[in-house]
Structure 1
Amino acid sequence: MDVGLLLVSAAVLGGLAGILALVLIVADKYIADYGICKVDINRDPAVSFECRGGGNLLMALAERKIFIPSACGGQGTCGYCKVEVRAGAGSVLPTERMHLTRTDIRRNVRLSCQIKIKNDLALRIPAELLAVQEFACEVEKLEALSHDTKLVRLKLLDPAAIAFKPGQYCQLNVPRGYLLRLVPPIFEPIFRAYSIASMPKDEGIVELIIRLVPNGICTTWVHTLLAEGDRVTITGPYGEFYLREDSERPIICVGGGSGVAPVRSIVEHLFDKGTQRRVDCFIGQRALRDLYWHRENVARAAHHKNFRYIPSLSGLEPGDAWEGETDFIHLVVDRSIDDASDKECYLCGPPIMIDAVIAVLKDKGLPEERVYFDKF
């Protein structure tokens, strides 16, 4: 058979398949009528609701002020928006499987962003998620912490106070007007998760530390357009990563990159409360221009015998005046901790860093149940 004819045939078939897929998507969205569907939540009429079928479960819940966490804004990449679906969701989709464990699947846990409401659903949502609130805020302060990282201080307006645990996070909503001006425009809501960097005692304030991600929708808006005095909306608090205050064990904190934010909240809260617990704080960044929250920790270490601060810069640039550690942070932890069997550990940062630090500390006797982490 002529190779040229074969290639043309394959291209035509591929084009027809693409057109057919597009037609099916459009037909399902605009022609298919799923009618009115009931979404039962915890068998509680006060939070259950009815809606027209065809929509996304995550967004349908958000429209009714039930805020399920979603660090990726409902794109199916973070795996945070898990809910237990007792009935009505159908088979687990391929887009969900990489985020679901075997235990999740046995318990009928699904990603709410991947579930299309086509019929009645029965859900179980934990009370702590039903208690998550939406907050109207004003940008009180913007401060450059490094060449690509900003501190965003938000004053809460309505409600005027938030109760959270050090280490938890909130979600920042990107304004609809900004999304519609993008090319191409984005019509779906976009929100991103950021750890709370402030202390719980400052209940009227939420501080976020936001690093600029190239081509990131939310971070580009924050770094180029957000101004002091602007109004924004957040939801929260979220997360099982938080300081366990019912313990007196020594603590190891490790933060890498923008994972410094929750470590900042944990450490500053502990010493504001006058903790007597031993705290070893490891911070990993690449170069001197990336390092922030440094002088505060140097001063804290000088004033508190129970606080040790060890930063490491693993990618020094020409001209960086640095005499401290220069290895990857897990190697620094390995050299600095002899026995971890009596400790508990809080880790936040890139997955590869967290996995490496966990392996080091487990080898030094740290029980797995005392490792708390949040992977960015």
Structure 2
Amino acid sequence: MSFQITVQPSGRQFSCDEGETILTAAIRAGVGLPYGCKNGACSSCKGKLLEGDISHGAHQEKALPVKEEQLGFALFCCATPHSDVTIEAREVAGIGEFPVRKMPTRVVKLDKVADDVIVLSLQLPANERLQYLAGQYVEFMLRDGKRRSYSMANAPYKDEYLTLHIRHMPGGLFTDQVFTTMKERDILRLEGPLGTFFLREDSDKPMVLLASGTGFAPIKALVEQCAHTGSQRPITLYWGGRRPQDLYMMALCEEWAATLPDFTFVPVISNAQPEDQWQGRNGFVHQAVIDDLPDLSAYQVYACGAPVVVESAQRDFVALCKLPAEEFYADSFTSEADLAS
């Protein structure tokens, strides 16, 4: 049995199999519903149920509070229909441009760029190239049907290989493997491209790029995209970490600041120690943006990293800095620990 999903205000329609989530069916049909984590943690896919009957699978209370659900809001990544339904959602143009594919990939290189970060370089099958938009991610298909998501750290035009930035999460099913047993020439299986975090190139607004930790990976891809296309939009990159070593590619960012037009780099450290001899900005990275740019009404913001950073930035930029809510684009890096909290 399948049900018909109608998206308003566009009027787009697609079918959803029994037991399938609305988001999964939309991705399969090439319909651009916004989404991020796909597991009920980030609220990027939140919309409204206008007609029909759905039930929600497991999700975080902060992503869909009970009061919002009672008002008809839904998380489409974990909403399963039980009838034909009509939903209200803002569709993302261009998301269906490249098909989602499953493919094998070979590990080419593992570069340890920090004590807890490895740059993983992957080679796709001969004569194949994964088509994607800078900022999107892939999912690794692991044992027992489990999956782990990582953003591409290079623009689609950049480099021979697909590169990902992997931070070690002790006890993590995938990251323990990357940091201990994985070796060159190992074969992995992935699916992609996924996600609606990518550059909106139909705008000439200045951009704030906000990253924490390995949230720098898709931000790096966005910068490379802008450099490749010769974008003239002013860009300010704020990258935050607890200690200076967390900014594991700071030299690259300084190179961009020296060579790219209208590009500014602001590193921010929240927990510098005396031995770090840190001379730069201190505090929370999103607060540095507020201090520097109290009026964001004419900007676009692209934020990526730890959920607490993304959520704080979205809340405060809109409430305090007059950022239009629709001009905040984010990819929240949720771990298994985040999902359990």
TM-score, normalised to structure 1's length? 0.69
2:102 is aligned with what amino acid? E
Counterparts of 2:55 and 2:83 in 1: how far apart (Å)? 14
2:223 is aligned with what amino acid? V
Query: For 2:116, which of 123, 148, 169 is the aligned residue?
Result: 148
Aligned to 2:114, what secondary structure does the other structure show? coil
Q: CA deviation at 1:317?
A: 3.1
Task: Give the conservation status (yes or no) of the 8 Å contact 1:165–1:242.
Answer: yes
Tell me which residue corresponds to 2:196: 240
Tell me which residue corresponds to 1:308: 264
Correspondence 1:217-366 to 2 at 5 A: 217-362=173-318, 363-366=320-323
- Structure 1 pair 344–201 and aligned structure 2 pair: CA distance change class (3 A): same
Which string of whole-angstrom CA distances, capped at 9 and with x for unpartnered residues, describes residues 18-40 of structure 1? xxxxxxxxxxxxxxxxxxxx446
Q: CA deviation at 1:123?
A: 8.7
Correspondence 1:186-197 to 2 at 5 A: 188-197=144-153
- Structure 1 pair 144–108 and aligned structure 2 pair: CA distance change class (3 A): closer
2:327 is aligned with what amino acid? R
- Structure 1 pair 375–162 and aligned structure 2 pair: CA distance change class (3 A): same
- Structure 1 pair 225–318 and aligned structure 2 pair: CA distance change class (3 A): farther
Task: Give the conservation status (yes or no) of the 8 Å contact 2:139–2:192.
Answer: yes
Structure 2, unmatched stretches of 5+, are 7-13, 334-341
Counterparts of 1:345 and 1:358 in 2: how far apart (Å)? 9
Q: CA deviation at 1:96?
A: 4.4
Task: Give the conservation status (yes or no) of the 8 Å contact 1:80–1:111.
Answer: no
Q: CA deviation at 1:205?
A: 3.0
- Structure 1 pair 354–79 and aligned structure 2 pair: CA distance change class (3 A): closer
Tell me which residue corresponds to 1:201: 157
Structure 1, unmatched stretches of 5+, are 1-37, 177-187
Which string of whole-angstrom CA distances, capped at 9 and with x for unpartnered residues, describes residues 203-246 of structure 1? 86321111111211111112212211111111111112111111
Tell me which residue corresponds to 1:173: 141
Task: Give the conservation status (yes or no) of the 8 Å contact 1:86–1:121.
Answer: no
Task: Give the conservation status (yes or no) of the 8 Å contact 2:43–2:75.
Answer: no
Which string of whole-angstrom CA distances, capped at 9 and with x for unpartnered residues, describes residues 257-315 of structure 1? 12111111111221232221110000001112212121111122122340100001111
Which structure has greater helix proportion? Answer: 1
Task: Give the conservation status (yes or no) of the 8 Å contact 1:164–1:200.
Answer: yes
Task: Give the conservation status (yes or no) of the 8 Å contact 1:70–1:192.
Answer: no
Aligned to 1:92, what secondary structure does the other structure show? strand
1:245 is aligned with what amino acid? E
Aligned to 1:247, what secondary structure does the other structure show? coil
Query: For 1:367, which of 308, 321, 324 is the aligned residue?
Result: 324
Tell me which residue corresponds to 1:136: 104
Does residue 95 (structure 1) correspond to residue 58 (structure 2)? The answer is yes
* Matched positions, count: 309
Range with bigger deviation, 264-273 or 314-323 = 314-323
- Structure 1 pair 338–93 and aligned structure 2 pair: CA distance change class (3 A): closer
1:269 is aligned with what amino acid? Q
- Structure 1 pair 91–333 and aligned structure 2 pair: CA distance change class (3 A): closer
Q: CA deviation at 1:339?
A: 3.0
Which structure has greater strand proportion? Answer: 2
Counterparts of 1:156 and 1:316 in 2: how far apart (Å)? 40
Correspondence 1:53-92 to 2 at 5 A: 57=20, 71=37, 92=55
Q: CA deviation at 1:85?
A: 11
Q: CA RMSD in A?
A: 3.9
Task: Give the conservation status (yes or no) of the 8 Å contact 2:50–2:72.
Answer: no
1:364 is aligned with what amino acid? C
Aligned to 2:281, what secondary structure does the other structure show? coil
TM-score, normalised to structure 2's length? 0.75
Identity %: 27
- Structure 1 pair 192–364 and aligned structure 2 pair: CA distance change class (3 A): same
